[in-house]
Amino acid sequence: MRYIVTGVDGQLGGRVAENMLATVDGSQLIFTSPDLALIPAEKQAAWRARGVTIRTVSYDDRAGLTEVFREGDRLWMISGVLVGLPRQIQHRNVIDAAVDAGIKHLTYTSFLGADRQGYGQYVMPDHTFTEAYLRNSGLTFNIMRNNLYLENYFTTSVMLALQSGNKWYTTAGEGRGSFIAKDDSARVAAALLLGRGQPNAAYDVTGEMISQREICSMVGAYSGISFEYCPVDDETFYRYLDGMHIPRSTEGDYSRSPVRWCSNDMVTNEASIGYGQMAIITDTVEKLTGRKPTPPRELLQRYAYVWKDRV
């Protein structure tokens, strides 16, 4: 059996790659990236030394994807970074290429709420489209619907607060969410790639319940910085992010932005927390990996460099 991990240059894909290397022989693994320059040369060398096949291929290149996928049996598909029609076309290319190549099983990384009514996040239509397209493809599959990543509130939220007089702005209000740590998500991804899920089943991937106000207080107590939690409405948050030079869409100008997120994404994701939409608890992590989700407090030391170095 040969396993394909896409997007290994990314934070989640890289974690999935390492989890697979800890489980199967490198000769059974194919790692892909749209640009190998994004991966340190020493890491590539270490992977190749363990027998891993590394391929450069873009989601825009259906023929190239088909050629690479013919080398494997089971595929883990990270979602693309664009939003809207360009990403939907990319995702269709991946699924069509998997069909053409005879892939036996595809695991797709979706978003919590893609199967639910009333979820209006900026990115949600792409995931709803992709899930439907995958279900109709004839492929055997699993879908992992990740909650918002826990790391965002120990990195991006802290970075922006430090640049804003220690004011922590958000549209999350007093909402709580079962945010998922990327390490936990990567372990779930590896488990599904290895065949531990039920065929054609979707899994909501969630962590421990916590609010942004609680995270803000936790980071403040640990760092010694007096962060002020500032819940605001959507338009106020948009104006704040505009002032930080954060573009509203993924097609915007990021040359002066302190983060790679767009404000449409940030505002709608944060608002969904305030609406209670991300407060869903599941046993997916423990059921598929044998480990409980990572407690939020465990990330404090790992990301302390953000406030210590004022990243």
Q: Where are the domains of the chain?
A: 3-145, 147-180+206-280+292-311
Class of domain 147-180+206-280+292-311: alpha beta
The answer on pLDDT for 110 being more than 90 is yes
pLDDT at 231: 98
The answer on pLDDT for 291 being more than 90 is yes
The answer on pLDDT for 21 being more than 90 is yes
pLDDT at 260: 85
Q: What integer is the mean pLDDT of 56-83?
A: 97
Which amino acid, residue 34? P
Strand partners, 256: none
Q: How confident is the model at residue 261 (pLDDT cuts 50, 70, 90)?
A: confident
CA dihedral 154→156→159→163, nearest 10 degrees, is: -140
pLDDT tens per residue across span 214-246: 999 999 999 999 999 999 999 999 999 999 999
pLDDT at 165: 96
Indicate the average pLDDT of the chain. Answer: 97
pTM over 0.75: yes
The answer on pLDDT for 189 being more than 90 is yes
The answer on pLDDT for 121 being more than 90 is yes
Q: How confident is the model at residue 73 (pLDDT cuts 50, 70, 90)?
A: very high
pLDDT at 298: 96
- Report the CATH fold assignment for 3-145: Rossmann fold (3.40.50)
Q: Name residues whose C-beta falls within 8 Å of residue 25's C-beta, 6 or more positions apart in sequence.
A: 50, 51
Residues 20, 188: Cα–Cα separation, whole Å: 11
Strand partners, 111: 146
pLDDT tens per residue across span 148-161: 999 999 999 999 99
CB-CB contact of 281 with 196 (8 Å): no
pLDDT at 34: 96
* DSSP β-ladder status, 210-211 and 176-177: antiparallel
pLDDT at 311: 82
The answer on pLDDT for 104 being more than 90 is yes
Residues 194, 38: Cα–Cα separation, whole Å: 26
